[in-house]
A = this chain, B = another copy of it.
């Protein structure tokens, strides 16, 4: 990766994911090159935005021609760190957890759920899509033993912080949480939260305040 001195914003990372998906489609459609203009159109962005985002990481295009579809896709995969497999553990195999285990996109992208944990004795020992459910009390040693690098938290809000602390303690540096509560992690750990209630509130806000510009 190119050394740049620039700070990469979260929105740039997000857009790289979008480009990655569009490039996959373009590849299937047989395109060899794509211009920033085309790519921007597909994602409802500006061409300048696309070029700027990519420029943080290097020079991938050819002036007058555009970007090579297959190669750029591979480069973005490298930047995003999805040109490899990641060992993932899922904690909590309730409704959300079960849905995640079946989420094919995860596997396709190299996020391999190696371990499932729960605290429900009826679930422990059972199998879910071929993966055994383990007792959450063995969390720390199991995470280390299986070199888990990424943990998905799908437990009730009431126990989420305790689980997060254990996971962080085990040395895991990346967490995805579905618990609808505020969780704390040290600054050297990345946590992302998916909160569906908050998404719904965005929608109800927009429905309630149809005109976003309030007149003075």
Contacts and interface: CB of A to CB of B under 8 A. Distances in A.
A5 B196 contact: no
A52 interface: no
A131 interface: no
Contacts of A43: 182
A173 B207 CA distance: 7
A32 interface: no
A106 B200 CA distance: 8
- How many protomers of this protein does the assembly include? 2
A30 to B, nearest CB: 18
A6 to B, nearest CB: 7
B22 A216 contact: no
Contact of A150 (B21, B176, B203, B209): B203
Given A5-B213, A21-B180, A103-B196, 12 more contacts: A1-B209, A3-B215, A16-B205, A22-B182, A43-B182, A95-B102, A100-B196, A105-B180, A106-B196, A106-B200, A174-B203, A190-B203
Interface string A11-26: 0011011101110000
Contacts of A14: 198, 202
What are the 7 closest A-B residue pairs judged by CB atoms, nearest first?
A: A81-B208, A5-B216, A81-B204, A95-B99, A174-B203, A190-B206, A99-B99
A39 to B, nearest CB: 12
20 contacts: A4-B214, A4-B216, A5-B214, A8-B212, A13-B201, A13-B205, A14-B198, A17-B195, A17-B197, A18-B198, A20-B201, A81-B208, A82-B201, A98-B98, A100-B196, A105-B180, A150-B204, A174-B206, A192-B199, A194-B194
Given A173-B207, A207-B81, A202 B95 contact: no
Contacts of A48: none
A199 to B, nearest CB: 5
Contacts of A194: 194, 196, 199
Contacts of A201: 13, 16-17, 20, 80-82, 109
